[in-house]
A and B are shown apart, each in its own frame.
Chain A
Amino acid sequence: MKLRTRAAGATRALCLLAVLTTVGLLPWLSGRDPALAVLRARSAEQEPTEEALDSVRQDLGLDAGPLSLLRNWASDLLHGDLGTSWVSGTDVLPSVTAGLQVSLGLMGAAFAVAVLLACALVAPVLVRGRGSAGAWAAMAAALPEFLLATLALLVCGVWLGWLPTSGWQGPEYMVLPALALGVPAGGLLGRLVADALPAVLDERWVELWRGAGVGRRTISAAALKRVLPPLVPQFGMVAVGLTGGAVAVETVFAVPGIGRTALGAAKSQDLPLLQGSVLSLLLLGLVAGAAAALVRRRLLGPALRDAGLSLPPVRPVRTHPVIPLTLLTVLTVTIGWGLLRDPYTVDTAARLAAPSWSHPLGTDGLGRDVLARLGHGAAPTVGTAAAVCLLSLLVALALGFLPGVAAGAADIANALPPVIVGILVAAAAGPGTGGAALAVALISWPPLAAHAAALVQEVRASSFLTAQRAIGASPSWILTRHVLPSVAAPVARHALLRLPGIALALASLGFLGLGAQPPAPEWGLLLDESRAYVERAPWAALAPAVALALLAGLAVSGAAYAQGRRNIGRGTKKRVTKRVTKRVTKEKEALVEV
Chain B
Amino acid sequence: MPRLLEVRDLVVRYGPVTAVDRVSFSLEAGETLALNGPSGCGKSSTALAVLQLRRPDGGEVGFEGRELTTLTERELRPLRPRMQPVFQDPYGSLSPRHRIRDAVAEPLKVQGRWNAETGPARVAELLDRVGLDPSYGDRHPHELSGGQCQRAGIARALASEPRLLVLDEPVSALDPSVRAGVLNLLADLQDELGLGYLFICHDRAVVRHFADRVIEMRDGRISSSQLRRSPGAAPR
A contact set with B: CB distance below 8 Å: 462-464, 466-467, 469-474, 477, 481-482, 485-486, 580, 583-584, 587-588, 590-591, 594
Contacts and interface: CB of A to CB of B under 8 A. Distances in A.
Given A463-B89, A473-B106, A485-B97, 14 more contacts: A466-B93, A467-B85, A467-B94, A469-B53, A470-B51, A471-B80, A471-B84, A471-B160, A472-B79, A472-B80, A474-B110, A587-B175, A587-B176, A594-B205
Contact of A472 (B110, B173, B203, B205): B110
26 contacts: A462-B92, A463-B89, A463-B92, A463-B93, A464-B95, A466-B53, A469-B80, A470-B51, A470-B80, A470-B83, A470-B85, A471-B111, A471-B156, A472-B78, A472-B80, A472-B111, A473-B106, A474-B77, A474-B110, A485-B97, A486-B97, A580-B173, A584-B172, A588-B172, A590-B176, A591-B203
Nearest to B94: A464
B173 A584 contact: yes
Contacts of B84: 470-471
Nearest to A474: B77
A367 to B, nearest CB: 56
A295 B233 CA distance: 75
A157 B206 CA distance: 84
Nearest to A471: B107
Nearest to A465: B95
A470 B110 contact: no
Interface in B48-94: 48, 51, 53, 77-81, 83-85, 87, 89, 92-94
Interface of B: 48, 51, 53, 77-81, 83-85, 87, 89, 92-97, 106-107, 110-111, 156, 160, 172-173, 175-176, 202-203, 205
A464 B95 CA distance: 6
A304 B51 CA distance: 44
B80 A580 contact: no
A580 to B, nearest CB: 7
Nearest to A478: B110
Contacts of A462: 92
B95 to A, nearest CB: 5
A471 B81 contact: yes
A485 B102 CA distance: 15
Nearest to B51: A470
A467 B160 CA distance: 12
| A-B residue pairs, 9 tightest by C-beta | A472-B80, A471-B107, A463-B92, A472-B77, A473-B110, A467-B93, A464-B95, A472-B81, A470-B85
Contacts of A467: 85, 87, 93-94, 156
A486 B97 CA distance: 8
Nearest to A584: B173
A587 B174 CA distance: 9
Contact of A471 (B94, B96, B110, B172): B110
A466 B53 CA distance: 7
A583 B79 CA distance: 36
Given A471-B84, A471-B110, A584-B173, A482 B203 contact: no
A587 B169 CA distance: 13
Contacts of A590: 176
Nearest to A462: B92
Contacts of B79: 472
A479 to B, nearest CB: 13
Contacts of B80: 469-472
